Amino acid sequence: MFDDHTDVPSSSPSRFRAAAVAFTLAAVILQGALAQAQHRPTHDIVKSSRGMVVSVSGPASDAGAAVLKQGGNAVDAAIATAFALAATYPAAGNIGGGGFMVVWPGDGRPPMAFDFREKAPAAATQEMFVNPAGRSAHRRVGVPGTVSGLALAHEKLGTKPWKELVDPAVKLAANGFELDQANASQISELLKDSTGPEHAELHRVFDKPGGGDWKTGDRLQQPDLARSLERVRDRGVDGFYKGETAELIAAEMKRFDGIITTEDLANYQAKQREPVRGTYRGYDLVCMSPPCSGGITLISILNILENFEFARDERWSPRTMHLFAEAMKRAYRDRARYLGDPDFTEIPTHFYSKEHAREWAKGIDLSRATPSSTLAGDIKLAGESEHTTHFSVVDGKGMCVALTYTLESSFGSRVVAKGAGFILNDEMNDFNWMPGVTDSTGRIGTAPNLLAPGKRMLSSMCPTIVLKDGKPWLVTGSPGGRTIINTVLQVITGMIDFGLTAQEAVDAPRIHHQWFPDKIRAEAKFHQQHADVVKILEGMGHTFDRVARQGDAHSIWLNPETGDAESGIDPRISGKASIP
């Protein structure tokens, strides 16, 4: 471990700053301890020995739990949950997007990872988005991967008939379901913000009958989506990537200058990949590998933090938050430098090693923020979105699933293919649009994630399974664009370093630093509860942005003593833990 005194430069100004921090630290620790004592979990903890599904949508969690009750395994339940979310959480649940699944089989087989990230169409070019005139909603749609990915996972690990797993979603779309407050407000705002001929079908599908805003308790029925899901139910992947649904998507593209064709859809295939593995203070991490950047970046941050001892610190101390921000910015710098689609880019391993992390840790000044520009190295400096969704599933036999999937922005491209009933993604946003242009605003132009035909865009998704003594201990993940990784980081460290329960770790306020822009983004709750810490960190050279919320980290803790699953339901949008 690095000792504070050896890390602080010997100059008088640095010693003065360190003394000033120490002078106020005791008062801040006392305030934080009082806040911690007053903290109460936002949800009652659900416990089960038979399995559990935790997601943003009650009906979707129930659909997955019903599969567990009927004898299905965690992968079966995850497939049912994912399809149900396509009906009950249209902001991010989808068959028009893509994502990643990490599985711990629980039967002695090694962990598996499934990549169903969207791809650039064959007609895409590296500089197609350099000119703003070429950035229409339809051109930003990537070839969807969700149906292919769920089908691949079912082929490898599923036990229940495919039709039984898709049918609950068909019924939810056809018969409708009652909107909760989150869905009602999100859909109402979507419709107000979406105008123009390209969104006419969106309004036809989602406008409230009779007009006006959607309210809590209103019933949303989606007959076109039900028919699209029926085709998937009855024909599998061919029910989406070939035939009527594929033709509807391609026709929509032609109407509005999009570039996806029926050939792009027919050629799409999800991939099974090796998970990326890491360790932190004796725990093992099983994470999604590239083109998902979440796992490697999470492991990189934890490798840096492992060089510092937190046991002496209160969770919200200035030292803790300073180290978190400094570790985050260094790992995100490496993310920009090295990560992309491994089918197009050779990804080195040295930059997420323990040795590389030790070198980064040595450069952290414990009394002063490091300017992000000084970390650029060989990246030439010139003068991602919130609405993903994550859910966690465990069954009663030891299988665990962490699944994160997305449309990119809230409601994706807001494009609905006429007659298909579902929203298409806008994942082409996640490529580096401006080759060679990396700047202080957060724009990244490095080579590994430049656009190319057939290439999968880099993702920040971070579905993660944490092991203790070789057995599953935590299943977690989150939405949130580039903030995803740091949300997952704080759930994990909250439990390992600071002894929080899963629910307490999920409830806790969150911060984020992504290298550029060079500022800490913190939830409003953090500013409210820890204003003195913010002041001290500003005195150390950090700057802050305030956001309403960060992430939606529905998690499951597996109690090593009882073997029971215990819920961590994120209160930031909505959510439910369902058990068989």
Helices (H) and strands (E) in the chain, counts: 19, 23
Which residue shows structure tokens 């993660």? 464
Residue 284 and residue 277 in contact, taking contact as beta carbons nearer than 8 Å: yes
Cα–Cα distance measured from residue 329 to residue 176, given in angstroms and rounded to the nearest whole number? 44
Number of alpha carbons in the 13 Å side-chain half-sphere of residue 545: 13
Q: Which of 560, 566, 570 is nearest to 48 (CA)?
A: 566
Contact 111, 196 (CB under 8 A): no
Report whether 117 belongs to an annotated binding site. Answer: yes
CB 339 within 8 A of CB 331: no
Alpha-carbon span 56 to 149, nearest angstrom: 20
> What letter represents residue 52's amino acid?
M
C-alpha–C-alpha distance, residues 111 and 261, integer Å: 35
Per the DSSP assignment, residues forming a β-bridge with 405 are 99, 389
Annotated active-site residue in 88, 297, 345, 388: 388
Phi, psi of 491 (to 5 degrees): -65, -45
Distances (CA, A) of 152 to 163, 236, 269, 270: 15, 10, 9, 7
Please give the structure tokens belonging to residue 166.
Answer: 């898709």
Q: 376: alpha, beta or left, given left = phi > 0 and alpha = psi -120 to 50?
A: alpha
d(CA 364, CA 311): 19
Q: Which two tokens stand for residue 10?
A: 């010997």
- State the angle between helix axes of 58-69 and 162-175 in degrees (0 to 180), rounded to the nearest 10: 150
326: Cβ contacts below 8 Å, ≥ 6 apart: 304, 364, 369, 370
29 CB burial (10 A radius; 0-12, 13-18, 19+): middle
> How many other CB atoms are found less than 10 A from the CB of residue 343?
14
Say how many C-beta atoms besides its own lie within 10 A of residue 223's C-beta.
Answer: 13
**Is the CA virtual torsion 220, 222, 226, 232 positive or negative?**
negative
Task: Say if residue 413 carries a ligand binding annotation.
Answer: no
459 is in an annotated binding site: yes
Was 158 annotated as part of a binding site?
Answer: no
Q: Is 493 a catalytic residue?
A: no
The dihedrals phi and psi of 568, each to the nearest 5 degrees, come to -130, 95
Q: Which residues are annotated as a binding site for L-glutamate?
A: 117, 430, 459-460, 481
Q: Which residues are annotated as a binding site?
A: 117, 430, 459-460, 481
The set of catalytic residues is 388
